Copies of this chain bind each other. A is one copy, B any other.
Amino acid sequence: MSGHVLALSGGVGGAKLAAGLAAVLSPEDLTIAVNTGDDFEHLGLTICPDIDSVTYAMAGLNDTERGWGVAGETWQAMAMLRALGEEDWFNLGDRDLGMHLARSWRLRAGETLSQVTTRLTQGLGIAHAIVPMSDDPVRTQVVTADGILDFQHYFVREQCRPVARAIRFDGVPGARPSRPLAAALARPDLAAVIVCPSNPYLSVDPILAVDGVREALRNRSVPLVVVSPLVGGKALKGPLGKLLAELGAEANNLAIARHYSGLADHLIIDEADAGDAEGLRALGLSVTITGTVMCEANDRERLARVALAAARIELEDHGAR
């Protein structure tokens, strides 16, 4: 390998590419920095949805049918909580709960989120570094006509019903990059930055908003490759599509390119969006058109190789891991 790769990831979509990168890069060659803006406190637990999505995908525990959470999940604790009259708007699976419990009590005992994440991912046999963007709390909030809502309250509890006016990240400025993210950004052998196919506004922006991260990426001397989360302009549909439409965010790759203006060198877009390529090139970006839908491990690895090639990372023939 020709250097270290830093990947930035949100939840499910990003997690798949992160797992693909881990399949082709050795642990010492990859740092996966994960959005913690979606984290929240619920029933005394600290829940980190994106770290968990990446962790479950990397450990092969993710539920591929449901698309989120742990495979083979059950909901017995939730049924008891409901019977006890506790809030049940956030569905806590039993296996997932083991993760939340372990994290929460370790945090309460004084470990940082970085330390806890290292401990728990290693516990599951993950050799690659999954690191939170920050050990300081950053909380994505939606400014709505009904007031400011924490992201999970807006997204899960209110099902995105309130009209959105803005997205804000509570805790920035002031949130420092986690030690392992700061270390990855400062590595003399840093060779590339890959932005995984995660929502730019909700999953990647919080990472960029952490103190010094955007500046460090602007001043980098290595390729920054963005894998678009769009497939036929569709990823912004669904409940999040409503939010982003209300904020005037467009669901096309030109909007994404403008969003990452000054940061991205290269955009990887889906074949369904091939028509965007010319406009992207006119903005000064290089472009790769490929299939970006990752159904199976093969798809994840292939897209990881495409992203690394776009970043001019040479993989040894025998791969890694």
Contact = CB atoms under 8 A, between A and B. Distances in A.
Interface of A: 43-45, 70, 72-74, 76-81, 83-86, 93-99, 101-102, 104-105, 108-109, 119-120, 122-124
Contacts of A98: 76-81, 83-84, 86
Contacts of A105: 43-45
Residue from the set A77, A95, A97, A108 with the largest chain B CB neighbour count within 10 Å:
A77
A95 B77 contact: yes
Contacts of A86: 98, 101-102, 123
Nearest to A107: B44
B108 A84 contact: no
Contacts of A119: 84-85
Contacts of A95: 76-77, 79-80
A97 B97 contact: yes
**Identical copies in the complex:** 2
Nearest to A99: B80
Nearest to A70: B80
Contacts of A94: 74, 76-77, 80, 94, 97
Nearest to A125: B83
Q: Which of A73, A85, A108, A109 has the most CB of B within 10 A?
A: A85
Nearest to A93: B76
A78 B102 CA distance: 10
B74 A104 contact: no
Contacts of A76: 72-74, 76, 93-95, 98
A219 B186 CA distance: 74
Contacts of A74: 74, 76, 94
Contacts of A78: 98
Contact of A101 (B72, B77, B108, B120): B77
A84 B95 CA distance: 11
B84 A99 contact: yes
Contacts of A44: 44, 101, 104-105, 108-109
A286 B25 CA distance: 80
A86 B99 CA distance: 10
A107 to B, nearest CB: 9
A73 B120 CA distance: 25
A122 B76 CA distance: 20
Contacts of A97: 77, 80, 94, 97, 101
A41 to B, nearest CB: 9
Nearest to A72: B76
Contact of A84 (B43, B79, B80, B120): B120
Contacts of A123: 83-86
A44 B106 CA distance: 8
A85 B79 CA distance: 26
A72 B74 CA distance: 13
A122 B124 CA distance: 39
